[in-house]
Copies of this chain bind each other. A is one copy, B any other.
Amino acid sequence: MDIREIARRAKVSTATVSRAINRLPTVDPQLSRRVWKVVDELGYFPNTQARALVSGRSRIFGLIVSEITNPFFPEIVQTFENLAVENNYEILLTSTVHDPKRMESSVRRMIERRVDGVAILTFGMEESLLEHLRFRKVPLVFVDVGPDAPRIANIRIDYQHGIRQAVQHLAALRHTRIAFIAGPANLKSALARRSAFQQAMTEIGLPPDLIMEGDHTLEGGMRALTELVNSRRKRPTAVLCSNDMTAIGVIRQAYDSDIKIPTDLSVVGFDDIRLAQFTTPPLTTVQMSQSELARLAFRALINEAEQVAPAHRGSEYALVTNLVLRRSTALASG
**Smallest CB-CB separation from A290: which chain B residue?**
B69
**Smallest CB-CB separation from A254: which chain B residue?**
B280
Q: Which residues of B contact A280 (CB under 8 A)?
A: 251-252, 255, 279-280
How many copies of this chain? 2
Q: How many angstroms from the CA of A134 to the CA of B113 in the assembled complex?
A: 26
Write the A241-271 contact mask toward B (1 if CB under 8 angstroms, else 0): 0000000100110010000000000000000
Tell yes or no: A73 within 8 A of B by CB. Answer: yes
Given A52-B49, A53-B53, A109-B90: A78 in contact with B85 (beta carbons within 8 A): no
Q: Which 3 A-B pairs have the closest CB atoms?
A: A68-B78, A255-B280, A49-B49
> Which residues A167-197 have CB closer than 8 A to chain B?
none
Tell yes or no: A307 within 8 A of B by CB. Answer: no
Tell yes or no: A212 within 8 A of B by CB. Answer: no
Tell yes or no: A150 within 8 A of B by CB. Answer: no
Q: How many angstroms from the CA of A69 to the CA of B69 in the assembled complex?
A: 10
Write the A94-116 contact mask toward B (1 if CB under 8 angstroms, else 0): 11010000100100110111100
Q: How many angstroms from the CA of A104 to the CA of B78 in the assembled complex?
A: 17
Q: Which residues of B contact A111 (CB under 8 A)?
A: 45
Q: How many angstroms from the CA of A277 to the CA of B68 in the assembled complex?
A: 17
Tell yes or no: A47 within 8 A of B by CB. Answer: yes
Interchain CB contact under 8 A, B52 and A81: no
Instruction: Determine which of B77, B97, B275, B279 lies in contact with A68 in the assembled complex, contact meaning CB atoms within 8 Å.
Output: B77
Given A43-B135, A279-B280: A74 in contact with B81 (beta carbons within 8 A): no
Tell yes or no: A316 within 8 A of B by CB. Answer: no
Q: Which residues of B contact A74 (CB under 8 A)?
A: 68-69, 71, 73-74
Tell yes or no: A50 within 8 A of B by CB. Answer: yes
Given A78-B69, A95-B78: A47 in contact with B53 (beta carbons within 8 A): yes
**Smallest CB-CB separation from A135: which chain B residue?**
B43
> Which residues A130-148 have CB closer than 8 A to chain B?
132, 135
Q: How many angstroms from the CA of A91 to the CA of B95 in the assembled complex?
A: 12
Interchain CB contact under 8 A, A102 and B114: no
Tell yes or no: A281 within 8 A of B by CB. Answer: yes
Given A78-B95, A278-B218: A114 in contact with B47 (beta carbons within 8 A): yes
Interchain CB contact under 8 A, A48 and B114: yes
Q: Which residues of B contact A46 (CB under 8 A)?
A: 112
Instruction: Determine which of B58, B71, B248 lies in contact with A49 in the assembled complex, contact meaning CB atoms within 8 Å.
Output: B58
Q: How many angstroms from the CA of A102 to the CA of B81 in the assembled complex?
A: 11
